[in-house]
Amino acid sequence: MKIRVKLFAAAQETIGRDEITVELEEPANIAQLRLRLSQEYPKLAPLVSKSMFAIDNQYAQEDSPLSENAEVACIPPVSGG
Amino acid sequence: MIELTQSTIDTSKILKEVASSDAGATVLFLGTTRRTTDHLVTELLTYTAYEPMAREQMARLEDQARRRWPLQNCVLVHRLGEVAIGEASVAVAVSSGHRRAAFEAASWLIDILKETVPVWKREHWNTGQAAWVHPGVERSSGDVTP
């Protein structure tokens, strides 16, 4: 399945796009997405290893399942305030 | 009340919003942009957010605070876009019957907001360079742009 991943801040700047698509075999979870992103985009790897992920606007766990129509986002360490 | 805004944070509007005739205490916290971080001199900050999630997350934090403390009102505001040095980038305001709950709730809210709300700042230094701030991630030279 195709998972579209939203990118922000340094992740967006590193790749030069605000969204990327990765192909994952079903069933897939956040841990598998994290691994695939690091492999396909080595420049993102240091940031991806420290990032959280969100599914449909909620923080997800490593074992949270992914589905093709979910809104997935890579959330690098936040720095609001 | 939850707000993400491109405009100056209006504290009198926030205080009006949290006012309650049942409140004996109102606490307003403002986070303001600082010129120096370690040896770097910042001239301007820009903030960006994953806006729909930031709003939802701020609303969840307000709900959690209301369950934990007897609050009359609660306002969370974060500024986005360019923010000059010395201006407020975030505001937390709560009102409660008594001061202890108001102090505790405001303190908890700003801490958890800074840890969990998907907002990022970019520091623009006096060297003409700029970089995103990601606590705990080592900056590589490629992250610093002219």
CB within 8 Å: B137 and A80: no
**A9 CA to chain B: closest CA distance, Å?**
6
User: What CA–CA distances, in Å, run from A16 to A32, B2, B53?
Assistant: 23, 30, 22
Of B78, B109, B59, B94, nearest in space to B7 by CA: B78
User: What CA–CA distances, in Å, run from B141 to A13, A42, B47?
Assistant: 13, 16, 21
Report pTM: 0.95
Q: State the sign of the Cα–Cα–Cα–Cα dihedral A43, A47, A48, A49.
A: positive
CB within 8 Å: A54 and B90: no
- Quote the CA–CA distance of A78 and B2 in Å, as a whole number: 18
Of A10, A19, A73, nearest in space to B53 by CA: A73
pLDDT for the residue B141 = 55
pLDDT for the residue B55 = 98
**A24 CA to chain B: closest CA distance, Å?**
24
For the stretch A23-72, pLDDT in tens is 999 999 999 999 999 999 999 999 999 999 999 999 999 999 999 989 99
pLDDT for the residue A5 = 98
pLDDT for the residue B37 = 83
What is the DSSP track for chain B? -EEEESSPP-HHHHHHHH--TT-SEEEEEEEE--SEETTEEEEEEEEEE-HHHHHHHHHHHHHHHHHHS-EEEEEEEEE-EEEETTSEEEEEEEEESSHHHHHHHHHHHHHHHHHHS-EEEEEEETTS-EEE--TTSPPPGGG-B-
In chain A, the residue whose alpha carbon lies closest to the alpha carbon of B77 is A81
Of B36, B14, B42, nearest in space to B26 by CA: B14
Any B CB within 8 A of A57 CB: yes
Mutate to test the interface with A, among B51, B57, B132 (most CBs of A within 10 A): B132
Any B CB within 8 A of A47 CB: yes
User: What CA–CA distances, in Å, run from B39 to B42, B56, B100?
Assistant: 10, 36, 37
**B14 CA to chain A: closest CA distance, Å?**
17
Instruction: Identify which of B119, B138, B143 has the shortest CB distance to residue A80.
Output: B119
Q: Chain A neighbours among B 20-79 (CB < 8 Å)?
A: 31, 47-50, 52-54, 56-57, 78
Tokens of B63: 């709900």
Q: pLDDT digit of tens for each residue in chain B (146 aa)?
A: 999 999 999 999 999 999 999 999 999 999 999 999 888 899 999 999 999 999 999 999 999 999 999 999 999 999 999 999 999 999 999 999 999 999 999 999 999 999 999 999 999 999 999 999 999 998 765 567 77
Rounded to 5°, the CA angle B82-B115-B109 comes to 90
**B86 CA to chain A: closest CA distance, Å?**
13
pLDDT for the residue B19 = 96
Q: Chain B neighbours among A 5-34 (CB < 8 Å)?
A: 6, 8-10, 13-14
